[in-house]
Amino acid sequence: MSRKRFSLAYLMLAVFVLCAAAGAVEVQDVVNQVSQSNYRHYLDDLLYTHSGQSRELGGAQHDPAMVNIYNTFTSFGLTTSYDPFNYGASTYYNVVGVHPGQVNPEQIYIVGAHYDSYNSPGADDNGSGTAGVMEAARVLSQYGFGATLVFIAFDREEQWMVGSYAYAAEHASDDIRGMVNLDMIAYNPAGPRYNKVWVYGQSASNPIKQAMASAMTLYGGGLTPTVSGPVASDHIPFEERGWQAAMFIEYAVQYSDPPIGMYNPNYHQRTDSVDTLGYIDYAYATSVTRSAVGYLASSAGAVPEPGSLLPLGSGFFCLVVAVRRRARRR
């Protein structure tokens, strides 16, 4: 092989190694870590979603569920806290887990869901979304990101988003770049609504709605997103302060799509339980969770693992050497 051809081959090898190292963290690789078995464990075993249990106002399992969420966030290495707010004469708590950004930590992306229920065990409303946030926290906490990720289990949503309004007011000066709300993501009946998901938000949130819908198309394993207008849930307090925020919610939720017929028959009923046969679709809920993880991983900017920096440095060194050799021969 001539020196010129050898130098060109060396240059091509260096570029290949450099590009391979630079793409060491792929969003799809992150999304692939989302586990249906882990999701089911959180929903079935930690959130008190069985018949006869309740996380509603004054419910016996409300506080134990809150503690389980806190302990789970802590086990992932998140900076975890109980975030207090007042409702009536009592103090309640959002559970907040923070994964600090490594490049622009002041930039924040939030994924949240409410853990309180109404007149029910709340398996779908909203144990399903809370389990999604817990699984997103498990997966995303394993990686470094440019921006900060915040995982929130809100309380008192059923009394008109009291916890999320309190959090948004408390953090009014934060640089929140996106807020994803998961609310009722596990009911997926056969028929025209099967494997479809609403992406709800105000028109001002069209950019994040479209980004979330795109993430679902890429990472949702066959789910079909439908972008629509505002519906009340925990993203609303963030939208009202001018932040980009939107919600993933099952297509068969009670107030959706009257022309094809309503609705989740277990909504706010005692039958909103993991024990109701044929009710909870764990695969569907896990796919919605993957969509949220895909959006967050791509938006927050994954940082290469330390081990990937060695080939990156080697590739850069080879590239410099090759370029210098070619320069000398001109």
* Cα–Cα distance, 206 to 183 (Å, whole number): 19
- Residuewise pLDDT in 10s, the chain (330 residues): 444 444 444 444 443 334 444 445 799 999 999 999 999 999 999 999 999 999 999 999 999 999 999 999 999 999 999 999 999 999 999 999 999 999 999 999 999 999 999 999 999 999 999 999 999 999 999 999 999 999 999 999 999 999 999 999 999 999 999 999 999 999 999 988 999 999 999 999 999 999 999 999 999 999 999 999 989 999 999 999 999 999 999 999 865 444 444 589 999 999 999 999 999 999 999 999 999 999 999 999 988 765 444 444 444 444 444 445 554 555
Give the pLDDT of residue 305.
Answer: 60
A 10 A CB-CB count for 249 gives 27
| Secondary structure letter of residue 255 according to DSSP | T
**pLDDT at res. 263:** 81
- Is the Cβ–Cβ distance between 230 and 202 less than 8 Å? yes
SS3 content of the chain, % helix, strand, coil (to 5): 45, 20, 35
Give the C-alpha separation, 51 to 65, whole Å. 15
Query: Within a 10 A sphere around the Cβ of 11, how many other Cβ atoms?
Result: 17
Please, are residues 288 and 176 in contact by the beta-carbon 8 Å criterion? no
What's the rounded Cα separation, in Å, for the pair 42 and 9?
52
The DSSP letter of residue 329 is: T
Nearest Cα to Cα of residue 165 among 233, 92, 237: 237
What are the distances in angstroms from CA 111 to CA 83, 294, 320? 16, 12, 42
Cα pseudo-dihedral 233, 234, 235, 239, rounded to 10: 90
Whether residue 108 contacts residue 150, with contact meaning beta carbons closer than 8 Å, is answered with yes
Residue for token pair 């006869």: 52
Helices (H) and strands (E) in the chain, counts: 10, 10
Local structure of residue 249 (DSSP, 8 states): E
Burial class of residue 324, CB neighbours in 10 A (0-12, 13-18, 19+): exposed
- CATH label, 25-303, candidates 3.40.50.300, 3.40.605.10, 3.40.630.10, 3.50.50.60: 3.40.630.10
- Per domain, the residue ranges of the chain are 25-303
- The DSSP code for 288 is H
What spatial distance separates the first Cα and last Cα of the chain, rounded to whole Å?
18
Whole-model pTM? Answer: 0.86
CA distances from 163 to 20, 95, 113 (A): 44, 10, 11
